[in-house]
Amino acid sequence: MTLAPTNHSPVSAAISESIENGWQMPAQLYAGPHIHQIEQDAIFKKAWQCVGRESMLAKAGDYITGQLGDVPIVVVRDTEGRLLGHVNACRHRLHPVALGESGCKQLFQCRYHGWTYTHEGALRAAPGVEGCSGFQKEDLGLIPIRVDTFRGFVFANADMDAEDLHSFLGNAEELAQKYAIDFANWDHMGTITYDVDADWKLFAENSLECYHCPLVHQHTFAAHVGTLPKDYITSEFENVLSQYAPITLAPGVDDASALKGFRLIFVWPCTFISVDDFVGIVARITPTGPQRTRFTVDTFIPPGADPVAVEQWLDVYDRTFQEDKEVVAAQQRGYISGMIPQGRLMAHREASIQMFQRRTWRALQQDQRLAHVGGSAPQTINLHVVEVDAIDGANEEGSGRFATSGAKRAWEGELEIAAFEPGAEGVAVITLKPHDGDRLPEWQAGAHIDLILSNGLERQYSLCNAPGDTSQWRIGVLREPNSRGGSAYVHEQLQAQGRVKVRGPRNHFPLPEAEHYRFVAGGIGITPILAMIQLAERQGKSWQLLYGGRSLASMAFVDELRAYGDRVTIAPQDTHGLLDLTAYLGDAPSDTAVCACGPGPLLNALASVCSKLPSVSLHVEHFTPAPPASTAENTEFDLELRRSEQTLRVRKDQTVLDAVREAGLSIYSSCESGVCGTCETTVLEGAPDHRDVVLGEKERASGQSMMICVSRCKSEKLVLDL
């Protein structure tokens, strides 16, 4: 069924035209509280959405509960075998009549005041209504909703006038048969939820294309699934789309070419049904508020599946979803800023996003609250980029401009300096918080942030508070004796400014999986180790710390660390000499990860010791540039920028980063010394000559990415995904 828009304003028509021409929906549609409410009414109360498995409704009285956007619902199997659905709210005081995720009831009874309903939704009893004038039980049944099934899964729609499910799905049944999407009777492994700090549409669009996969998921999804355009096949239809990609690397499989591959069907607006050779997934996106989304993933495995392989495969998915969370949360900040009214799509690579936006915009146009989008003729920039000045919507004054509803939130990129305290001689401990009490992006132990200083410098500092704390960030900054301007500025001028611009977090030093940890820190290198210790403690893992410095007075966080007792050894050089790494690591049990951060000489000595201990694996982070890992002389080479369709010649005296910028591309970088990892770029062909201190040995050996600020090329030609 094709919906005809009821909104005929000039700007509305221009937005529709711009979407067809490869531009995105206006950014304002991703950033407003009243847009959230319009979407609840225009989309989530009118669309078919998956709410559970049909196998959970096997006998009379079995029920499942769920949500259609903000509408609570219950679906039940009645005594005649029918599936019936209702709004899960009593007609008295709107308390739910069915509790929990599932159950079995012969009657629904509200636990608040005892009103009772049949499976068909009829009000059977209402205690205390005797003598209540005009009370008509037949008028007070549960509000009905539509229910149907597809491939063993239950779908629901709050709009009783909506077209039937199978008409809505179009050729989805044919697609499901083609891709063998039939796993409703597999064993249910469990449900995982991901809370995302972004608009639901951003998360949906991210999940519908794999243009980003070789970059964002280069070590997760893209390492196991063919994500190049020739391999990753998408087909877009009216309300559904399909995806197929071959599996290229799988746990316990020598020849991945024999596998059936990754197959997915998406049902607009929010349901994903996918299956591969190891797991089946039904996932749902639910907006939980403006710029807040919940992604719920039900996982299934075939009977007799190898539990080890399944666990490894589910880990790939989990890490992929975590990466998606981080990406869209960062993306949301760009939408909130209001600086880019409408983004540009790569239609040949992102047709799935175009399908999603076309369908979503058509649904939004049905709502009269968008009848005055823009309020005047559209202003056009470049190719039909519509700058929407305002989207009328209800507020406390009856109507208002979207730009006044918090579109430019001051904390984005700028944090308050909540505390600036001495941590040791020459060390400042700085606590940063959002000035408006909002949440910061999620982060893990080992992550760092960039301080963007008003003198034009940028410096990276590790986060050292409790991992995952999104209320504040804490860093430790050492005043370098030979400061190039960064640490001196922080110590002398930053506190007086009250706020500082921040970018991040990024993590090139995550805590590896291990049963035992031996931490080594030198001087200010204690900062990332602090967060790792807290994470290891939280996970109940065994750990020890060896912490050295010039003197006790120069070592930060000593009092905090002493609370851990004899697991921490504090060894200042002026009283203990150099750290005895051999003695410290000599009794390390098998499966021990040695995680270290500190000056180059310490890390070099540690590498020498660990090379003789097969029971340990070494993981380090440099906080100052180290000598280049390669001693090869600089040579010229050809550089192909695949996406930009350019081929360049990189000179001996020129970095790859400089050559790319000279060709006109805007590439983001920070340290430009191979330390921070900001400029990491995917390598499509060629042999990188790695000269950074970010990538580990396995990452270097894979040759899948490189830091283009310092690294070069061993082969005659290098091809980058730029």
pLDDT, tens digit (0-9, with 9 covering 90-100), for 187-237: 999 999 999 999 999 999 999 999 899 889 999 999 999 998 888 999 989
Domain final residue, candidates 291, 307, 337: 337
Give yes or no: residues 662 and 703 share one domain. yes
Say how far apart CA 484 and CA 488 lie, in whole Å: 8
Say how far apart CA 511 and CA 592 lie, in whole Å: 12
Residue 364: which of 10, 144, 21, 45 has the closest Cα?
45
DSSP state of 552: G
Is residue 34 very low, low, confident or very high in pLDDT (cuts 50, 70, 90)?
confident
Q: Is residue 410 scored above 50 in pLDDT? A: no
Residues 87 and 72: beta-carbon distance below 8 Å:
yes
pLDDT in the model for residue 7: 47
pLDDT in the model for residue 671: 66
Q: Is residue 500 scored above 60 in pLDDT? A: yes
Q: Is residue 320 scored above 60 in pLDDT? A: yes
Is residue 572 very low, low, confident or very high in pLDDT (cuts 50, 70, 90)?
very high
pLDDT in the model for residue 665: 77
SS3 content of the chain, % helix, strand, coil (to 5): 25, 30, 45
Query: How would DSSP label each residue in 401-414?
Result: -GGGTTSS-TTTTE
Q: Which helix (H) or strand (E) holds 684?
A: strand 680-685
Query: How would DSSP label each residue in 513-538?
Result: P-SEEEEEEEGGGHHHHHHHHHHHHH
Q: Is residue 374 scored above 50 in pLDDT? A: no
End-to-end CA distance of the chain: 40
Tell me if 630 is assigned to some domain: no
Is residue 398 very low, low, confident or very high in pLDDT (cuts 50, 70, 90)?
very low
Is residue 677 very low, low, confident or very high in pLDDT (cuts 50, 70, 90)?
confident
Our CA angle for 328, 333, 336, nearest 5°, is 120
Residue 432: which of 471, 388, 478 has the closest Cα?
471
Q: Is residue 474 scored above 70 in pLDDT? A: yes
Write the single-letter amino acid at 678.
T
Give yes or no: residues 394 and 420 share one domain. no
Tell me if 137 is assigned to some domain: yes
- Specify the CATH number for the domain of residue 706: 3.10.20.30
Q: In which domain, by residue range, is 496 found? A: 414-506
Count of Cβ atoms closer than 10 Å to residue 703 Cβ: 15
Say how far apart CA 465 and CA 553 lie, in whole Å: 21
Tell me if 286 is assigned to some domain: yes
Is residue 349 very low, low, confident or very high in pLDDT (cuts 50, 70, 90)?
confident
Say how far apart CA 585 and CA 607 lie, in whole Å: 12
Give yes or no: residues 138 and 244 share one domain. no
Query: Among 23-37, 46-60, 560-574, whose mean pLDDT is lowest?
Result: 23-37
Q: Percent of the chain scored above 90 by pLDDT?
A: 60
DSSP state of 341: S
Give yes or no: residues 278 and 372 share one domain. no
pLDDT in the model for residue 241: 95
Q: Is residue 286 scored above 80 in pLDDT? A: yes
Give yes or no: residues 199 and 268 share one domain. yes
Give yes or no: residues 187 and 329 share one domain. yes
Question: What is the CB-side half-sphere exposure of residue 80 using CA atoms within 13 A?
Answer: 6
pLDDT in the model for residue 300: 96
Give yes or no: residues 144 and 202 share one domain. no
Tell me if 223 is assigned to some domain: yes
The count of domains in the chain is 6
Q: Is residue 529 scored above 70 in pLDDT? A: yes
Q: Is residue 523 scored above 80 in pLDDT? A: yes
Q: Is residue 378 scored above 70 in pLDDT? A: no
pLDDT in the model for residue 161: 94
Is residue 483 very low, low, confident or very high in pLDDT (cuts 50, 70, 90)?
low
pTM exceeds cut of 0.85: no
Q: Which helix (H) or strand (E) holds 308?
A: helix 307-337
Q: Which helix (H) or strand (E) holds 310?
A: helix 307-337
Domain final residue, candidates 556, 589, 622: 622
Say how far apart CA 532 and CA 535 lie, in whole Å: 5
pLDDT in the model for residue 411: 32
Q: Is residue 451 scored above 60 in pLDDT? A: yes
